[in-house]
């Protein structure tokens, strides 16, 4: 496998996928994994904007600054550029399958599929909830980051 590249995808790219990107950057750094990491959304509502302030707060509490991240939308070339495109829920996984060009080579999966006993589960969308929802999303992102790092190390 050439250098792994991972794209995390949720709906708007302001809550779950930036947190998954941050958690995976932290885990990859801890393990010394050489991997390209990014996040995007299937929707375009927040393109160019920063992550939700509550997502930034939970990331900061866990030692990661995501204030410089900017939302973007998934592009056809992402399916060739990234080795793994990781959806945060089934709806976004279905959207990614529909968007995937015929020459797309990325492996598509759900983040929690790589966590023991969580196959098929979605990372809860904290957007309409309170701060506690962002803590739960961070915990899921960390668990997924560990499982994904294990998987990628096993593929190297």
The residues carrying an active-site annotation are 10, 16, 125
Backbone φ and ψ of 130, nearest 5°: -105, -175
**DSSP track, 108-132:** EEEGGGGSTT-TTPPPP--TTS-HH
| CB-based contact 105:95 (threshold 8 Å) | no
Our measurement of the distance from residue 81's CA atom to the centroid of its chain's CA atoms, rounded to an integer in Å, reads 15
Q: How far apart are CA 124 and CA 145, in angstroms?
A: 15
Strand ranges (E), 4-149: 5-10, 36-41, 84-87, 107-110
């Amino acid at each position: 496998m050439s250098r792994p590249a991972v794209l995390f995808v949720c709906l708007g790219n302001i809550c779950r996928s930036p947190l998954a990107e941050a958690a995976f950057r932290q885990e990859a750094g801890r393990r010394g994994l050489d991997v390209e990491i990014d996040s995007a959304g299937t929707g375009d509502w927040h393109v160019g904007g920063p992550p939700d302030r509550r997502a930034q707060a939970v990331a900061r509490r866990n030692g990661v600054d995501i204030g410089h991240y900017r939302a973007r939308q998934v592009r056809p070339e992402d399916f060739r550029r990234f080795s793994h495109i990781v959806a945060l829920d089934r709806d976004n996984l279905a959207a990614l399958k529909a968007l995937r060009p015929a020459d797309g080579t990325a492996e598509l999966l759900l983040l929690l599929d790589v966590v023991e006993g969580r196959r098929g589960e979605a990372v809860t969308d904290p957007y309409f909830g309170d701060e506690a929802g962002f803590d739960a999303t961070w915990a899921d992102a960390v668990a997924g980051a560990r499982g994904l790092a294990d998987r990628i190390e096993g593929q190297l």
